[in-house]
Amino acid sequence: MQCIFCDIVKKRSKAEILFEDDSIISFLDINPFNVGHSLVIPKTHYENFLELPPDLFGGILSVVQRLAIGVINGLQADGYNILSNNGRAAGQSVFHCHFHLIPRFNTDGYKFKMDLKKYGNGEMNMIAEKIKSAINNLA
């Protein structure tokens, strides 16, 4: 199986590495939304967030937090977005679980403009019930 992120972990592909320990590595995204756009990944190949073992959650988020401090203090970012695309429908293009840390600047001109929907009558409660019953059935 060919995976560009596994190649980066194994140092078979070059990357601008920002942080690395035994289980996690972070590097600059090659096509940034803004300069400093970084990725945080587990070194082991898990396709998406649902496959990620919970014992990695804390370590990954702690690296994301360190990078957030890094872009605020090092690049004078005014804010940042934390993002993880999961599934093709959500825009995932590399199927090795990862989190984006995107520095934001007051002047960057991006607007996450979405076509926001409205719930129909009673629909909000019906949707909440579906999600709650699915999560209540989890082990």
Question: Counting contacts by CB under 6 A, is residue 108 touching ligand AMP?
Answer: no
**What residue spans of 89-137 are helical by DSSP H?**
123-136
Of residues 26 and 70, the one with the C-beta less far from Zn ion: 26
Question: Counting contacts by CB under 6 A, is residue 91 touching ligand AMP?
Answer: yes
Closest approach, Cβ 5 to ligand AMP, in A, equals 7
Q: Which residues of 31-50 are buried (b: 16+ CB within 10 A; e: fewer)?
A: eeebebbbbbbbbeebebee
Residue 54's binding partner out of ligand AMP, Zn ion, none, with CB under 5 to 8 Å set by partner kind: none
Closest approach, Cβ 76 to Zn ion, in A, equals 33
Sign of CA dihedral 90, 91, 97, 102: negative
Question: Which residue's Cβ lies closest to Zn ion?
Answer: 3
Site string for Zn ion, 40-79 (x = CB under 5 A): -----x----------------------------------
Question: Counting contacts by CB under 6 A, is residue 31 touching ligand AMP?
Answer: yes
Ordered DSSP codes for 35-92: TT-EEEEESS--SSGGGS-GGGHHHHHHHHHHHHHHHHHHH--SEEEEE---SGGGT-
Residues that bind Zn ion (CB under 5 A): 3, 5-6, 45, 96
